[in-house]
Amino acid sequence: MNLSEALMAGGIKELSSSEKYGAINELIELADQKGLLNDKAKFKEAVVNRERQQSTGLENGVAVPHALSEGVREVFACLGISKDGVEFQTLDGKPAKLIFLIGAPPAMNTDYLSVLSKVARMFIRPEMRRKVLEAPSPEDVMRIIKEEELRMSGGVLFR
């Protein structure tokens, strides 16, 4: 599964919270509004439990809170963008500016792992992070991500 497909389901928003769990809650609300959750409380519990085990803050301003949960209907990703950053206990200690919430039901583990790996591979590139942070709209973010998927696939998009 491509990241753009998962984001089409979940959506992209500018975050208002500057706190880790506040940002996660905003993204869970977005997923719930999109009809992606059949049990919001169960999914939230899974994400929070995963986060308490080990922070999903990566490096270079990226965090990827995620969970497999029976509370989720289908694989999705929601992207929260924070221009000022959110303290996320990242590996390099820098605030997270791009926060990808990823969820899936347990039966869709393969697609879930595919989306997680695509976020990691795509956003390791400084230019990609910069482009997304500078994008003026969610539509522009989607275009940038689709272009990167095409580049990474050698011009052919595979599921």
Query: Active-site positions?
Result: 66
Residues 23, 34 contacting (CB under 8 angstroms): no
The two structure tokens encoding residue 42 = 């169960």
Residues 144, 136 contacting (CB under 8 angstroms): no
Residues 79, 8 contacting (CB under 8 angstroms): no
Long-range contacts: 147-155, Cβ < 8 Å, 24+?
A: 148/122, 149/2, 149/3, 149/4, 149/118, 149/122, 152/121, 152/122
